[in-house]
Chain A
Amino acid sequence: MHAVNVANLGKRFRSHNPDRTWTFQERVMQGLRRPAKPEAFWALRNVSFTVENGQAIGIIGRNGAGKSTLLRLLGGIGRPDEGKVKVDGRVSGLLELGAGFHSDLTGRENIFICGVIGGLTRKEVAQRLEAIVDFSELEGFLDSPLRTYSNGMSMRLAFSIAIHTNPGVLLVDEVLAVGDLAFQLKCLDRIKQLKREGSSIVVVSHDAGLVRTICDDALWIHGGKTKAYGPAGRIADLYVSALDQWGSEALAGC
């Protein structure tokens, strides 16, 4: 059984059109103009891949390629219009960091609420409390309200909680740019450790280097469709050379 199995996945969105207005105000403003036909576009179509236990896949592609939509569907947010997504085990992610955080609660209170929202039981949060606090380097601030934290501190705390939820499948969005370089390296190490412990990792990035270091496989999506799928190194090379080409074309056009 695969840890993640995505087969012929398709997700369609209706582009925002006048037909979708719900409020009277908007209706009236619009007057009697004939509403346009709802236009649908496929944010993802015919995407298939699998991930095994302890393996990592990198999803690369340019902005708007459908990477985030794919991550959401893997996280059980929204339902595919075509195909299927099967995930074995608990899913959590390094995206939507700090869900449930409130500035009036202390660091400790926030760790519990955010950890539980991230999929841990209270007991599991209590067991990991020390590790989370160590990782975040915020020992002295645990009982101060979050509003006294700097932005960087609260992001570090959110990140430390998320990375200690030990899910079966970890979804990572490009949030690795949290904290200074040392903290980022620590995060990378922790992701590799989770992988060794058997978590499957899905990383969304446009950094080919990152995909090379952590991932076994990579999937390149472009305009919602699979452009290439295979071993991470090869796909990353393809992507980088395509980027170079786009870059020089863009420059030539200047």
Chain B
Amino acid sequence: MNNLRTGSRLRRLVYLRDLLRELVVRDMKLRYKRAVLGVGWSLLNPLLQLLVFNFVFTVILPVKVPDFTIFLFIGLLAWGWFQSSLVAATGAIIENPPMIRHPGFPVAILPVASVTSNLINFLLTLPILICFVIAGGHGPALSWLALPILLVVQFLLTLALAYFFAACHVPFRDTQYLLGISLMLGFYLAPTFYDVAKIPREYQTLYQLNPMVHLLGGYRSLFISGQVPALAPLFVIAAASIVTLVFSYSFFVHTSYKFIEEL
């Protein structure tokens, strides 16, 4: 009878972990349920994108980046994780009214679940990327062990933005369109398919302010040159993301009291 009242902290942590797991697994199961190819679509999607972009930027408008296919694939995959997480998190609140209305449901877990399930999708595509990397003659390197650093930094950055967009979207449904346009433009402004070194000097400072520039650069230095990326900018991004996260999380919590009236 005692455990009815004394909600221990440990139990709460176990509970949140289980809840996150259930939400992520549900999302993964439902994503391609009843599609013949199933999870294959998660792999086919970036591969088809790769095929077209590769054709455009090697045959029609040559970009002349060494190992362009791998370079491009990294850009597409990492940007894909970022983009699909934000899109999913933004819709997560309005797509799940029964959960939001459930007494005691910690709404703030939904954006975390969106970013996590897209992270898993990203991780599922890594073996293919690694095949490309090895086929390109860049054998496994010790520097690959630094990959989790990049994943953590990108996770924090994405989550910080996800809370903000998810909270805005409930009262202000234009958010999804604004986000869609921003992500499309962001895709071209971030060096997903070109080299940052090509950018004229006067724009360099501006470019370096984009956190995705450093993250994409990080993945590329890991897999293409086999070197641990420069850590200083990554730490700055991590710190800035944590500060932003604190703000966007409290903004989310503050707004979430009104969610139910807006759904």
Cβ of B167 to closest chain A Cβ, rounded Å: 14
Q: How many residues of A contact B (CB 8 A)?
A: 47
The B interface, classified by DSSP as helix, strand, loop or mixed, is helix
Cβ of B21 to closest chain A Cβ, rounded Å: 7
Minimal Cβ-Cβ distance residue in B for A88: B5
B18 touches A168 (CB 8 A): no
| CA of A210 to CA of B18, assembled, Å | 36
Which of chain B's residues have a CB closer than 8 A to the CB of A78? 257-258, 260-261
B260 touches A119 (CB 8 A): no
The A interface, classified by DSSP as helix, strand, loop or mixed, is loop
A-B contact count (CB 8 A): 112
A117 touches B102 (CB 8 A): yes
Q: How many residues of B contact A (CB 8 A)?
A: 34
B172 touches A89 (CB 8 A): no
From 48 to 104 in chain A, residues with beta carbon under 8 angstroms from any chain B beta carbon are 53, 71-72, 74-79, 88-93, 95-96, 98-102, 104
Known: A77-B101, A79-B257. A117 touches B19 (CB 8 A): yes
Task: From B18, B104, B257, give the contact of A90 (CB < 8 A).
Answer: B104
A100 touches B5 (CB 8 A): no
Task: From B7, B22, B26, B173, give the contact of A122 (CB < 8 A).
Answer: B22
B103 touches A171 (CB 8 A): yes
B260 touches A96 (CB 8 A): no
| CA of A93 to CA of B29, assembled, Å | 27
B247 on the A face (CB < 8 A): no
| CA of A199 to CA of B18, assembled, Å | 23
Cβ of A71 to closest chain B Cβ, rounded Å: 8
Interface string of A204-245 (1 = CB under 8 A from B): 000000000000000000000000000000000000000000
Which chain A residues have a beta carbon within 8 Å of chain B's beta carbons?
3, 13, 22-24, 53, 71-72, 74-79, 88-93, 95-96, 98-102, 104-105, 109, 112-113, 116-123, 166-168, 171, 197-199
- Please list 21 pairs of residues, one from A and one from B, whose beta carbons are closer than 8 Å in the complex, sorted by A's number: A22-B174, A72-B260, A75-B103, A89-B6, A89-B7, A91-B103, A92-B103, A93-B102, A95-B101, A96-B102, A99-B98, A99-B105, A100-B99, A104-B34, A109-B29, A113-B26, A116-B15, A117-B105, A122-B18, A122-B21, A199-B4
